[in-house]
Amino acid sequence: MIRECLDIEDDSWIRDLSERLEGGRREVDADWKRTWPVDIFQGWWLQSFGYALAALYLFYFAILYRVGSWIIDGAGRPIYTDFACAWVAALQAIHGHATSLYDPAKFVEMQAAVVAPSDYIYPNWPYPPTFLVILAPFAALDYLHAFIAWDLLTLLGCVAVVYLIVRRRAAIAMALASPFTAWNFLAAQNGFLTASLLGASLLLLKRQPVVAGVFIGCLTYKPQFGILFPVGLLAAGQWRAIVSCVITVVVLAGVAIAAFGGGVWIALPQELVAQAGLNLLADPNSNWAYLQSAYGLIRSLHSPPNLAWLAQGLVTFGSAVTVWIVWRSRVCYELKAAILAAAALLATPYAFAYDTTAIVIPAAFLATDQLSRGLLRGEKAIWIVLLGVPLAVLVTLGDNAGGKTFGGTPVSLFVASMLFFVILRRTLRCFGKPTIVDSGLGLQPATFR
């Protein structure tokens, strides 16, 4: 009609104009897709963000050190922290006083004689003597250098294991960026060591079960995080790893007896009872929020201990059943390892925020599976929440003296629980059906192995 009105016989110019307009629209769309939304999951972006955040942590620690409120005070005396407790224990052990560590009154005296004056000194040494075998070399150093060496060596082990799991440099940056990494580094606690042993055990179990068993045996220095390993090993029929683990435990116990005497093993049970009385059976008004477990959460809500034990029992039993079913199945190994590592953080009633440093291990195995088979809907947003929520709490609260602290909120329990269910969701998708995967370039069908 328009052509007739304008008396135009050749409409080639219309087709040409349409093609030009369509081409321009495609270019605009392409530019828009390249610039928005920003894909923060690109390796270079993750590395930039992770290292920048780690640098901020380090800058903050340097400030604390310069003003005399971290590691040592202005007079050069050790500031009382969790590592001070461990260093004093190792120092006394190499001087032949290991058995006295399990006497609360004597242990307080030992610490008070070495550290700067403190309002509170922790009275219990609840670790098995095998931990003293690990700590003993650091007692040969002065406190400052022992603190730094412990932090750096255990952090290096943790980061190395994470990298070997994921095989991406961005994994190193994200492990350093974790708020739980900063929290553990501040106190020089043993979260890095726990993460290293947990990750190395699962990394090697598939191809080198004997070596994996050695690492599992070493994890008994903190046995509450290994209680689900027997479930997974038995379900998978990993008998060589089981035998290797038992031999390792026996050897470590023998070394501890040779180094510190047999009395340490006799004194340990009494100390464990005292520790339970301090942390699990204490007054209802105790600060239960420091226990990052179902038990601690229920007690922090002023509920009776029976209800708290019931809740923790259900979580532990559910975790064990899940690990058994998954490890008996034909699910890919990365998800098996991820589910066990995440469940290990939930199954114990006795866990603190620094223990959640080990969250990088299930996260690394999950990331490995995602890199291999793509992201399910919503998993990018979940990753942001898993990092963003604890980071916001850390920045807001920090180590607030006399007030609510990062370690006194249930953020660790939230992160561990959320990650567990993310892994479980992927695991359930593995049972035979095609699923929809968001590869970052749009939704497309994919089938899990």
Tell me what the mean pLDDT of segment 408-432 comes to: 91
Say if residue 436's pLDDT is above 60: no
Tell me what the mean pLDDT of segment 289-294 comes to: 91
- What pLDDT is stored for residue 102 in this prediction? 87
Look up residue 437 and give its DSSP letter: E
Tell me what the mean pLDDT of segment 245-269 comes to: 91
Phi, psi (deg, nearest 5) at residue 437: -115, 135
82: number of CA atoms within 13 Å, CB side? Answer: 17
Tell me what the mean pLDDT of segment 338-361 comes to: 96
Question: In terms of DSSP H, where are the helices of 238-332?
Answer: 239-260, 263-279, 294-300, 305-328
Confidence grade of residue 19 (pLDDT, cut at 50, 70, 90): low
> Which residues, in sequence order, are CB contacts of 419 under 8 Å at separation 6+?
342, 359, 362, 363, 366, 386
- What pLDDT is stored for residue 449 in this prediction? 39
Mean predicted lDDT score pLDDT of the chain: 86
> Coil, strand or helix: which one is 310?
helix
How many angstroms separate the Cα of 93 from the Cα of each of 139, 154, 190, 264, 399? 9, 21, 18, 10, 30
- What pLDDT is stored for residue 435 in this prediction? 41
Residue entry with tokens 């490995």 = 368
Confidence grade of residue 269 (pLDDT, cut at 50, 70, 90): confident
Chain segment 165-174, per-residue pLDDT in tens = 999 999 999 9
Confidence grade of residue 273 (pLDDT, cut at 50, 70, 90): confident
pTM score of the predicted model: 0.86
Tell me what the mean pLDDT of segment 351-359 comes to: 95
> Which residues, in sequence order, are CB contacts of 352 under 8 Å at separation 6+?
189, 290, 291, 292, 407, 412
Say if residue 410's pLDDT is above 60: yes
- What pLDDT is stored for residue 433 in this prediction? 43
* Contact predicate 235/336, CB 8 Å: no
Say if residue 14's pLDDT is above 60: no
Tell me what the mean pLDDT of segment 27-31 comes to: 47
* Contact predicate 41/440, CB 8 Å: yes
> Comparing 101-105, 212-216, 368-372, which segment has the lowest mean pLDDT?
101-105
> Comparing 288-292, 296-300, 335-339, 443-447, which segment has the lowest mean pLDDT?
443-447
Tell me what the mean pLDDT of segment 243-250 comes to: 97
Say if residue 438's pLDDT is above 60: no
Q: What sign does the dihedral 287-292-296-301 (CA atoms) show?
A: positive
- What pLDDT is stored for residue 383 in this prediction? 94
Say if residue 46's pLDDT is above 70: yes
Confidence grade of residue 362 (pLDDT, cut at 50, 70, 90): very high
Tell me what the mean pLDDT of segment 69-96 comes to: 92
- What pLDDT is stored for residue 446 in this prediction? 41
How far is C-alpha 90 from the chain's CA centre? Answer: 25
Say if residue 307's pLDDT is above 60: yes
Say if residue 281's pLDDT is above 80: no
Say if residue 36's pLDDT is above 50: no
